[in-house]
């Protein structure tokens, strides 16, 4: 059976280190679309952080979808309709925010509208995330967060500070939340049902596709869930060694248009 759905991570996968889509990747995606293959961006970013890429790649036609917040939100890109939305409770916020203070690590929460932090001295990685995903930052006290629809929360700090905090997170938090380290300075907390994998399973069922008709392309630990559920997991050459162990295929690096290579080699041939 030919592959009909290809889920593609952004950072370290779709785009180069200077955040560009190469002409080769652009053309491969257009050629796949022309043959009826659904190309689905699957990212930890919020929706505001992918709109420019959806526009650039012409992925806003009827029946196109996008997976954001590592699977916390799945939307129809042509209408903006929410297909899947997994949110966190105010009690979740309180528990994770208190833990961040206890472990002395910066933290922020993200909704569809923006990035919220209770850190009066806003962390540099919160500013970095704001720039990366094109979202505003709001300073709010914990008491002011009661009515927010939080999709995910993040510990964000220098790698050595973050790693020290990670080692002290109680097991009960791992049991209650889906916790994923997406970069050396980002640790993400999400609803237990939230993952790129669950989002892809939902969309594949919606489209009537079998496992063998699905592919995912990624490079980092937050891509593991989607690579494990598809029939054709592809890991970038620049991907982690642990992730490569579960790959069916290894493609070229993001600097060498690895997404284009994967599409042409294993989807369009």
7 in Cβ contact with 196 (< 8 Å): yes
Indicate if 61 belongs to the active site.
no
- Rg of the chain over CA atoms, in angstroms? 18
Q: How many CB atoms lie within 10 A of CB 75?
A: 20
Q: Is 43 left (phi over 0), alpha (psi -120 to 50) or beta?
A: beta
Helix (H) or strand (E) holding 220: none
Cα–Cα distance for residue pair 57/124, rounded to 1 Å = 30
d(CA 2, CA 210): 10
Name residues whose C-beta falls within 8 Å of residue 195's C-beta, 6 or more positions apart in sequence. 70, 71, 178, 225, 226
Are the beta carbons of 267 and 249 closer than 8 angstroms? no
SS3 192: coil
Nearest residue to 100 via CA among 183, 190, 168:
168
Contacts with 5 (C-beta within 8 Å, 6 or more apart), sequence order: 37, 38, 40, 200, 203, 204, 207, 209, 213, 214, 215
Catalytic annotation, pick one of 9, 64, 95, 219: 9
Q: Which of 163, 166, 160, 158 is nearest to 125 (CA)?
A: 158
Active-site annotation, residues = 9
């Amino acid at each position: 059976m030919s592959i009909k759905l290809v889920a593609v991570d952004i950072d370290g996968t779709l785009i180069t280190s200077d955040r560009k889509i190469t002409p080769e990747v652009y053309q491969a995606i257009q050629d796949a679309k022309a043959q009826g293959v659904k190309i689905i961006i699957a990212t930890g970013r919020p929706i505001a952080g992918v709109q420019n890429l959806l526009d650039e790649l012409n992925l806003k036609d009827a029946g196109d979808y996008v997976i954001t917040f590592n699977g916390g939100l799945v939307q129809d890109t042509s209408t903006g309709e929410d297909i899947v939305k997994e949110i966190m409770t105010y009690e979740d916020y309180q528990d994770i925010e208190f833990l961040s203070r206890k472990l002395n690590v910066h933290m922020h929460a993200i909704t569809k509208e923006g990035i919220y932090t209770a850190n009066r001295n806003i962390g540099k990685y919160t500013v970095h995330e704001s720039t990366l995903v094109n979202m505003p930052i709001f300073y709010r006290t914990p008491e002011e967060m009661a009515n927010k629809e939080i999709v995910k929360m993040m510990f964000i700090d220098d790698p050595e500070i973050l790693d020290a905090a990670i080692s002290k997170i109680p097991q009960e938090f791992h049991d209650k939340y889906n916790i994923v380290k997406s970069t050396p300075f980002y640790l993400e907390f999400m609803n237990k049902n939230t993952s790129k994998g669950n989002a892809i399973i939902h969309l594949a069922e919606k489209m009537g596709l079998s496992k063998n008709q699905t592919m995912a392309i990624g490079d980092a630990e937050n891509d593991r869930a989607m690579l494990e559920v598809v029939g054709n997991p592809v890991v970038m050459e620049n991907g982690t060694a642990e992730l490569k162990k579960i790959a069916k295929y290894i493609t070229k690096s993001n600097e060498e248009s690895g997404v284009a290579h994967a599409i042409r080699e294993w989807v369009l041939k």
